[in-house]
Each structure stands twice: as structure tokens, then as C-alpha cells.
Amino acid sequence: MKNQYFGDKRDLFKFDLVLDVMAATGLAALTYVPMLTLPDDRNHGRLTPRALGGRRTALFDFLRSVREEGRADIRELRSFFSQLSGFRYLPYRDGLDVGQYAPESRDEYFAEIPDDLLVGSCVLLDPDIGLERDAAVMKRSGLDKYLYLGSLWDMFVRSADGVVLVYQHLQNNAHLRLGQIARDIKTISRRLKLKSVPFIRDGDVAFYLVSKDPWLAQKGAVAFSTQADKTGRLREHATEVLRVALSLLGKVEGVSIWRCSVLLHAVSTPRPATWMSLYASTTRRPCADIFPSRQCWSPCSVARSIW
């Protein structure tokens, strides 16, 4: 993260999503690990939010004000979150004066995060770009822009009774973004030994969610569907989940595709019918043949009937 980027339209997505995840999981503490680095001369972070897009009005107004008034500094988040009732904001090294993130000292950077900031919290890891890549790619972009898998593992292991959200900036070629997400999920799943890694994408940004608690992971997935629904992207989100599931599992039968979507995102969506009609179109079978009663359209009963 760089202060020059703070308050842009990606932050509207980022922090609105965080609040959705916290609402769905019941977690009351946000631990923000910004991986803050020095500014550069690029203009990537000057995308001032122009439209609310179904997200929180107070957050939208706050982010616009910090951009327009020249207060682009992540420490401004302290004042915003202090206004939320029953909310604990726990920033870690949110100023360059207390130490920036550097790859050569990453072990110390993450090891020095107190345990009480991680237990029972929604932990947001916010690198400039995202997960580590091939060494040559990272060297070209700058090693300080990446979250190493070893650091993610450390946060995952220590975040008992909580969730970890990972920011990922996707490649410029929109046609290759879902392939990148699928590879990331496969890598995270193997490294953290997880069966389910929920994700959500909006434009060139994605978020991955990991938790040692399957119930919290499921609730986080519900929050992703809620975010997609209120921004008018629920069907697109559902389609992307199934496409990623297909790429991870290879050519499988329709029920297996649906099972994978249940595994990744559960069926507790704001609109179960969206998922069911998508499943039916994938398998070329009418919903009535698979779920003969509308009573089966409740999330729990759908899960029991399929799994």
C-alpha cells in the first residue's frame, strides 16, 4: 500500500467489502496490515470514486473528501472507523515513521504483529500488488510490492477465530484475470491445506479469504455474494465462481461443478435462485428436475440435497 493510492475507487471496494465480511462473520475488530511503502511517481492511485455503486454512503463521502482535500494518508482511517459503534480498528504500522514494509525484513515485520491483533479479528493484508510471483516478475515490479506465501501462512496460523483477507491487483489483460485467480486459489489451497478459498473480483482487483474456521470462511463467502448483489454483479460473480471451479477441477459432471461452487462460496447467497438457474444452464437440465419443490430453494436445504 502507498499513501498516494489511498482514497481511490479500489479503496471503496476494499473497505466496503471488509465491512460486509465483518457484518456476516460477526467479527468486531479490523486489523489492518497495510504493508506501507514509499511513494513513487506513478499515477495508478488517482482514481477518485465517482459513483456510489450500491456501497456505503458514509465511506464513499469519506474517501472522496480525503482525495479532494489532499489528505491521502491511511491514518485518516482512524477517524472514520472511530465513528462506528461497536467497532475496533487495529492498524499496524500505518505510518512510514514507524517502519515501512521491506521484503528483506518481512519475517520481522509480520512476527512483530501482536497476537491480540490477530485473534478474533478480520485481518486485511494490503500489499501494493498481491501474492508473490515468479522471481523475475517480482524483481521487475519491485519485491516490496508482494505478499510472500510464508507471510500469509504466518498470519493464517496465528489468526485463530478470525479471517484473513488478501488484496490482489490483477493483470491488465481482462481475459486472463480468472486464470490468474484460479492459479492463486490453487496455490493458497495447497500451501495452507484448505479445501475452500472464497474470492471476489471487481475490475482489476480481487480479494481472497482464508480462515481456519470453516464456518467463518462460509460466512465470508456469503459476504462476497452480498457485496456482488448490492453492486449489481451477483450473476457475474456466480458465473466467475463456476468458471474458476471448472478450471480447478477440469472437465467434470454438472453436479460436481455445483458441489464445487457450494464448497467455495456456500449456497447462502442473497438470491439462491441465481445460483440454481446458473447450475441448470451449465448442466442443460431444468431447475424443476433437480430441485422439484420451491422449498428446496432455501440455502440449507439446497446444500443438503446436493452434498
pTM over 0.85: no
- How many other C-beta atoms are found inside a 10 Å radius of the C-beta of residue 137? 11
pLDDT above 80 for 58 = yes
Per-residue model confidence (pLDDT) at position 203:
94
Res. 293 pLDDT band, cuts 50 70 90? very low
Per-residue model confidence (pLDDT) at position 307:
36
The proportion of the chain whose per-residue pLDDT surpasses 90, expressed as a percent, equals 57
pLDDT above 90 for 234 = no
Cα–Cα distance, 186 to 195 (Å, whole number)? 10
Collect all residues with Cβ–Cβ distance below 8 Å to 280 and sequence separation of at least 6.
286, 287, 290
Between residues 300 and 77, the one the model is more confident about: 77
Note whether 185 and 244 are within 8 A (CB): yes
For the chain, the average pLDDT equals 82
Instruction: Tell me the mean pLDDT in the region 164-189.
Output: 94
Beginning with the edge strand found earlier in the chain, give each strand of the sheet holding 122-125 in spatial order.
88-91, 29-33, 122-125, 163-169, 205-210, 199-202
Per-residue model confidence (pLDDT) at position 297:
34
Per-residue model confidence (pLDDT) at position 250:
64
In this predicted model, what pLDDT tens digit does every residue of 119-131 receive, in sequence order?
999 999 999 999 9
Q: Report the run of H or E that residue 46 belongs to, with start and end.
A: none
In this predicted model, what pLDDT tens digit does every residue of 193-232 receive, in sequence order?
998 899 999 999 999 999 999 999 999 999 999 999 999 9
3-state helix, strand, coil in the chain (%, to 5): 55, 10, 35
Cα–Cα distance, 249 to 154 (Å, whole number)? 28
Instruction: Tell me the mean pLDDT in the region 160-184.
Output: 95
Cα–Cα distance, 199 to 181 (Å, whole number)? 8
Res. 289 pLDDT band, cuts 50 70 90? very low
In this predicted model, what pLDDT tens digit does every residue of 267-287 receive, in sequence order?
444 455 555 555 555 444 444
Per-residue model confidence (pLDDT) at position 259:
52
pLDDT above 60 for 144 = yes
Res. 16 pLDDT band, cuts 50 70 90? very high
Res. 301 pLDDT band, cuts 50 70 90? very low
Q: Say if strands 146-147 and 88-91 run parallel, antiparallel, or are unpaired.
A: unpaired
Per-residue model confidence (pLDDT) at position 292:
40
CATH 3.40.50 domain span(s) along the chain: 3-232
In this predicted model, what pLDDT tens digit does every residue of 237-263 receive, in sequence order?
888 887 787 777 664 444 444 454 444
Mark 94-104 as b/e (b = at least 16 C-beta within 10 Å): beeeeebbebe
pLDDT above 80 for 174 = yes
In this predicted model, what pLDDT tens digit does every residue of 92-102 receive, in sequence order?
999 877 668 88
Topology of domain 3-232 in CATH is Rossmann fold (3.40.50)
pLDDT above 70 for 157 = yes
Cα–Cα distance, 189 to 181 (Å, whole number)? 12
pLDDT above 90 for 117 = yes
Per-residue model confidence (pLDDT) at position 267:
41
